[in-house]
Copies of this chain bind each other. A is one copy, B any other.
Amino acid sequence: MPMRSHYCGAVTEALIGQPVTLCGWVNRRRDHGGVIFIDLRDREGTVQVVCDPDRPQMFATAEHLRNEYCIQVRGVVRARPEGTVNDAIRSGKVEVLCHEIEVLNPSVTPPFQLDDDNLSETTRLTHRVLDLRRPYMQRNLMLRYRVAMETRRFLDAHGFIDIETPMLTRSTPEGARDYLVPSRVHDGMFYALPQSPQLFKQLLMVAGFDRYYQITKCFRDEDLRADRQPEFTQIDIETSFMTEQEIRDLFQGMIKTVFANTIGVDLGEFPVMTYAEAMARFGSDKPDLRVKLEFTELTDVMKDVEFKVFSGPANMPGGRVVALRVPGGAQMSRSEIDAYTEFVKIYGAKGLAWIKVNDLAAGRDGLQSPIVKNLHDAALQAVLQRSGARDGDLLFFGADKAKVVNDAIGALRVKIGHSAFGKANGLFEDRWAPLWVVDFPMFEYDEEERRWVAVHHPFTAPKDGHEDLMATDPGACLAKAYDMVLNGWELGGGSVRIHRADVQRKVFAALNIGEDEARAKFGFLLDALQYGAPPHGGLAFGLDRLVTLMTGAESIRDVIAFPKTQRAQCLLTHAPSPVDEKQLRELHIRLRNPQPA
């Protein structure tokens, strides 16, 4: 005899008149007119259980039930009396007339009400098991599962096979900080947890597996930001014998399919934008296209203005001057503008110049601004014309090193777009806004290290015809690299890889990585490339981020069952924790700062 016949949340009109056996948790108990009503909850939802006093033994049990008791109920499904139907839940047209109750397990009083929406994250993570009982978290993790499963179905249908790559691997010389694992067998040696399966998936292509995927944990020991975890999950994909265009088309199809099959959203066609265009128009390589604001390029016209704040950057190599036109922004108060000025300072901007366009017809008199007097007519004319300024607009300005301008004005653009002002003034379009950003540069110059570094990773292939630029003009060399962006988040990215050892050597040369260093670090990849490595490429999606976007969760931690805090701790199990001296001895390590016993 099975312990349960149906899920609580799945008891519907179709079962009227039938006996059911339900298992679940007491979500709420109400005593009303001598009858006890129990909202019984399981992962599929709740159902109303009615306990009449005419079955005294059952009723006595019901009287002692409290929230979160785990119980088994036997009864018969019946239609709810007229006027008591609850259309908000799937079982809302029916109720279960209770014949028998068994308390499977009582519960002490929970530390919080499950329907309390104002819990601190510390409380939630400390009592994660109860937090996970909440329908919000149940829904999030169910959706996460469905996204992963739809992804697998799509990839399976397209001939991709899941191949597991090692978790205990070799410390990678480039990239973020590794998590290390001391070896017991090999004194003084360490494994590293993978930052990504990048090299292994390339090796699998060389091995001829042709189409690989894996939904796998990756690890980075970095200081955590709001949307980062020490371990995160990547949908990792690689394919041979496909062009960049074919790869993008296929995985655009995958993401579209996943959205359609899980949350019923049609993402439409994805616009394709070059990195150069994205930076020019939005100061970001992951622009949020829902925000209807764009940069106006002014570097060229500010070279000869008196205003040093503009002419300095305009004449500096790598400097940039832009405006951001905010339609309707002239109504902003001085304190609002001051708040935005403080905001851009987070991104390194020294200030935030502005012009309120009150009355274009009135010429300079119609412009309210602390800086207009410092701009000659031609410059001012260019500002107004290029930005398309109209009466009632506000223009913000950024002038600094390009990176500072892009970061600061790019962030300001998003901030204004998402603000109440932005939403009220039509600057924000509430839709799904996917795009591809393509043609990334191969290299960027690291001022601190005074050398070129790889923008993606050193295995990214240059665009056709750009091979020679690697030696002659690294900064102009573009890569077969692409990112998928959604609503201003990078959902995933990848590239066509280098499959020929001679091209790989040119990249190492451009990065100033010598033959010996290359051999020591990537010898096994270089070896593999020699044996007829196929043309290949791929990409990786961040599953945590994808699901966070899809659920509309506030934090990545809301789509992970047992996340770590921003201090990389698990509040539930208290990891990390001290370990025995014996364990350390076996691993041939000791603490630098031994703790008092």
A43 lies within 8 A of chain B by Cβ: yes
Residue pair B189, A184 in contact (C-beta under 8 Å): no
Copies in the complex: 2
Q: Which residues of B contact A108 (CB under 8 A)?
A: 530-531
Residue pair B188, A162 in contact (C-beta under 8 Å): no
A372 lies within 8 A of chain B by Cβ: no
Q: Determine the residue in chain B with the shortest Cβ distance to A191.
A: B576
Residue pair B170, A573 in contact (C-beta under 8 Å): yes
Given contacts A104-B534, A182-B180, A592-B588, contact A141 B161 (CB under 8 A): yes
Of the residues B167, B241, B574, contact of A219 by C-beta under 8 Å: B167
Q: Which residues of B contact A152 (CB under 8 A)?
A: 149, 152
Q: Determine the residue in chain B with the shortest Cβ distance to A213.
A: B145
Residue pair A184, B193 in contact (C-beta under 8 Å): no
Name the segment of A342-350, A468-476, A562-570 touching the other chain.
A562-570
Residue pair B570, A3 in contact (C-beta under 8 Å): no
Of the residues B7, B166, B167, B568, contact of A183 by C-beta under 8 Å: B568
A593 lies within 8 A of chain B by Cβ: yes
Residue pair B132, A209 in contact (C-beta under 8 Å): yes
A200 lies within 8 A of chain B by Cβ: yes
Contact with B along A223-246 (1 / 0, CB 8 A): 000000011010000001111001
A2 lies within 8 A of chain B by Cβ: yes
Contact with B along A205-221 (1 / 0, CB 8 A): 01111100000010101
Given contacts A25-B532, A168-B230, contact A204 B573 (CB under 8 A): no
Residue pair A177, B586 in contact (C-beta under 8 Å): yes
Which residues in window 186-209 of A have CB below 8 A to B?
A: 186-193, 199-200, 203-204, 206-209
Given contacts A165-B562, A531-B130, contact A186 B145 (CB under 8 A): no
Contact with B along A585-597 (1 / 0, CB 8 A): 1111111111100
Q: List 23 A-B contacts (CB under 8 A).
A: A68-B531, A70-B532, A105-B532, A105-B534, A129-B528, A133-B207, A145-B163, A149-B152, A152-B152, A164-B560, A164-B561, A166-B231, A168-B575, A170-B573, A170-B574, A177-B583, A178-B583, A185-B567, A185-B568, A186-B568, A190-B578, A585-B592, A590-B592
> 13 more A-B contacts (CB under 8 A) besides A141-B209, A166-B562?
A2-B246, A42-B210, A70-B532, A104-B535, A107-B531, A129-B203, A144-B163, A163-B561, A164-B560, A168-B179, A188-B594, A190-B578, A524-B574
